[in-house]
Amino acid sequence: MSRKSQALSVLIVSTLAFTVCFMVWMMFGVIGIPIKKALHLNATEFGLLAAMPVLTGSLVRVPLGMWTDKFGGRIVMFALMLLCVVPIYLISHATLYWHYLVLGLFVGLAGGSFSVGTPYVARWFPKNRQGFAMGVYGAGNSGAAVNKFVAPALVVAFGWAVVPQVYAVVMLAAALLFWFFSYQDPAHRVDSKITWREQLAALKDPKVWKLCQFYSIVFGGYVAMSLWMVQYYVGEYGFDIRAAALLAACFSLPGGVLRAAGGWLSDKYGAHSVTWWVLWVSWICLFLLSYPQTSFTILTANGEKTFHIGLNVWAFTALMFVLGIAWAFGKASVFKYIADDYPANIGVISGVVGLAGGLGGFVLPILFGVLMDLTGIRSSAFMLLYGVVWVSLIWMYFTEVRRAAVVGDQTKDLGLQG
């Protein structure tokens, strides 16, 4: 088989494997709703339950990225998927809250697949196509939307306990399919003489931490919203679990599938330009989403009049759809930064940035629950995200936008003097 055909096969089966891993990773976003009802959990406890898999999926990203550099993505991805099969199945037999939390930690290993597949896929393509290739692979985030289509149907038809049983079988089948249709190139491995300390030395670069901040909103926010939105629609608008999951998929699906388009845009216009506009679109959407349902009465010349301000379900869903598209582009543009600036160390840097994004996806649902319990305002989740986007915009302005303007002015002055 030609090198080009091998690269295409690797991209296809890796994307399929990541889609299944992400579907499993987001499982508690749906089955957590009947579990919450059965165990009488509050919003904070539900947030912790939904976020628990995200914790381990985030923490293992750095070592997985390093192992991918050293041993190759094929064997690491296959082993990772096999390790998740049994814990996924055991969830159907859990009865106590702590059972779900502990098993969620093991199931969360599936989320680490991103740091394996990203460098594995990228190294099969030339630099001018790496953004697109990583974007296609990252479209496996659409597993969050697949979960919202599959899990509610299974819950309604057979009960929530069937979901992890089906997902365990799907994970095993996907692992075998990946193994038989993927390839390994020894040239893609980092020199085995390089130590972990030497690989991690790149973390001294402050730009890595800036990328972590960006990714904590475009990926961490995406994960958190994917886990949170089904119960949000149920609580805020009164939908049943199937209708709520379908509407929530309007955010999750474009947020995953269009990542490939974000990779193409980043290749064409640059990672900086795409990320800058993603942050501004996010800022506008989150500002509108933050406003809670409000009724107020004013005294007029003709007596009291009551007004209501708030987003109806269609306006809300439309804004979430736009936000999902923006974050899809942003996830791809951040990793285009990595491919451009750290071509020899993609595994480690993507692992660190992925860790930051994953930790955002872990912390945010818990904070959503805390804010909900404290204030009773469901839109407080969007208020929190709005603040995070503000931090990213300010950071990017002072480190890139303003600096570029200053350099441009200095260059212009030197040209005039010459």
Read off the pLDDT of each residue in 291-313 and give the average, rounded to a whole number: 88
Q: Which domain holds residue 268?
A: 3-188+210-298+305-417
**Domain assignment of residue 200, yes or no:** no
Structure confidence at residue 137 as a pLDDT band (50, 70, 90)? confident
- List the one residue out of 168, 116, 137 whose CA is nearest residue 347: 116
d(CA 251, CA 327): 10
Read off the pLDDT of each residue in 198-226 and give the average, rounded to a whole number: 82
**Domain assignment of residue 196, yes or no:** no
Q: Is the confidence at residue 131, as pLDDT, over 80?
A: no
**Domain assignment of residue 136, yes or no:** yes
The total domain count for the chain is 1
Residues 340, 30 contacting (CB under 8 angstroms):
no
**Domain assignment of residue 93, yes or no:** yes
Q: Record the pTM.
A: 0.80
Residues 26, 229 contacting (CB under 8 angstroms):
no
Q: Is the confidence at residue 356, as pLDDT, over 90?
A: no
Structure confidence at residue 257 as a pLDDT band (50, 70, 90)? confident
**Domain assignment of residue 81, yes or no:** yes
**Domain assignment of residue 194, yes or no:** no
| pLDDT of 198 | 57
| pLDDT of 406 | 52
Structure confidence at residue 310 as a pLDDT band (50, 70, 90)? confident
CB proximity list for 277: less than 8 A, separation 6 or greater: none
- The whole-chain average pLDDT of the chain stands at 86
d(CA 351, CA 131): 17
Quote the tokens at residue 322. Answer: 């736009």
Residues 75, 120 contacting (CB under 8 angstroms):
no
Q: Residues 204, 210, 213, 215: is their CA dihedral positive or negative?
A: negative
Indicate which CATH number applies to the domain containing 402.
1.20.1250.20
| pLDDT of 193 | 52
> How buried is residue 294: exposed, middle or buried, by Cβ count under 10 Å (0-12/13-18/19+)?
exposed
d(CA 72, CA 192): 11
| pLDDT of 202 | 65
Q: 112-123 pLDDT, tens per residue? A: 888 888 888 888
d(CA 57, CA 65): 12
Q: 15-30 pLDDT, tens per residue? A: 999 999 999 999 999 9
Q: Is the confidence at residue 207, as pLDDT, over 90?
A: no
**Domain assignment of residue 332, yes or no:** yes
> Can you point out the beta strands (E) in 44-168?
none
Helix axes 143-158, 28-39, angle to 10 degrees: 40
Structure confidence at residue 415 as a pLDDT band (50, 70, 90)? low
d(CA 251, CA 297): 34
Q: 263-274 pLDDT, tens per residue? A: 778 888 888 889
CB proximity list for 250: less than 8 A, separation 6 or greater: 317, 320, 321, 324
pLDDT > 70 in the chain, percent: 90
| pLDDT of 412 | 53
| pLDDT of 408 | 53
| pLDDT of 282 | 94
Structure-model confidence comparison of residues 138 and 417, the more confident one = 138
Structure-model confidence comparison of residues 191 and 288, the more confident one = 288
**Domain assignment of residue 199, yes or no:** no
d(CA 26, CA 375): 26
What 8-state DSSP symbol labels residue 192?
T
- List the one residue out of 56, 193, 29 whose CA is nearest residue 115: 56
Residues 261, 328 contacting (CB under 8 angstroms):
yes
